Amino acid sequence: MDELIKATARDLVARLARGDVTPGDLLDALERRIDAVDGAVNAVVTRAFDQARAEARHWMPTTDRRRQPGRLHGLPVAIKDLTATAGIRTTYGSPVFADHVPEVSDAVVAQLQNRGGIVYAKTNTPEFGAGAQTFNEVFGTTRNPWHTDYTPGGSSGGSAVALATGCAWLAQGSDLGGSLRIPAAFTGVVGLRPTPGRVPRGPSTAAFSTLDVDGPMARNVADLGLMLDAMAGLYPGDPLSREAVPGAFEAAATSPMRPRRVAVSVDLGIVPVAAAVRDAFARAVDRLAAEGVEIVALDADFSAAESSFKALRAGLMATIHEELLTRHRARLKPDLVWNIEHGLGLTAAVLGRGERDRAAMTHGLLRTLADVDLVLTPTVLTPPFPHVIRSLDEIEGHRFETYVSWLALTFAITLTGTPALSLPAGMMPVTPQGADAPVSLPFGLQVIGRPADEAGLLARAAWMESVFTPRHLVPIDPR
**Residues catalogued as catalytic:** 80, 155, 179
Nearest CA to 438 out of 429, 425, 447, 426 is that of 429
Which residue type sits at 457? Answer: L
Nearest CA to 8 out of 200, 253, 232, 259 is that of 253
Question: Is residue 247 a contact partner of residue 360, using CB atoms and an 8 Å limit?
Answer: no
The DSSP result for 193-235, as a single string, is EPPTTSS---S-TTTT-SS-EEEEEESSHHHHHHHHHHH-S--
Cα–Cα distances (Å) from 115 to 177, 228, 232, in that order, read: 28, 11, 10
DSSP one-letter code for 295: E
Q: What ranges in 139-244 are assigned the alpha helix state H?
A: 157-164, 181-187, 221-231
Question: Is residue 376 a contact partner of residue 185, using CB atoms and an 8 Å limit?
Answer: no
Cα–Cα distances (Å) from 259 to 49, 165, 321, 416, in that order, read: 42, 31, 42, 21
What span, in angstroms and rounded, lies between the C-alpha atoms of 88 and 46? Answer: 8
Helix, strand or coil for residue 408? helix
Helix, strand or coil for residue 394? strand
Question: Is residue 440 a contact partner of residue 427, using CB atoms and an 8 Å limit?
Answer: yes
The H helix count followed by the E strand count for the chain is: 15, 15
Nearest CA to 335 out of 93, 21, 37 is that of 93
Question: Is residue 252 a contact partner of residue 225, using CB atoms and an 8 Å limit?
Answer: yes
Helix, strand or coil for residue 274? coil
Give kind and range of the element (H or E) at residue 414.
helix 408-414
CB-based burial, 397-408: b 16+ in 10 Å, e otherwise: eeebeebbbbbb
What span, in angstroms and rounded, lies between the C-alpha atoms of 368 and 132? Answer: 29
Kindly give the pairing relationship between strand 135-136 and strand 118-123: unpaired
CA angle 194, 71, 208 (to 5 degrees): 30
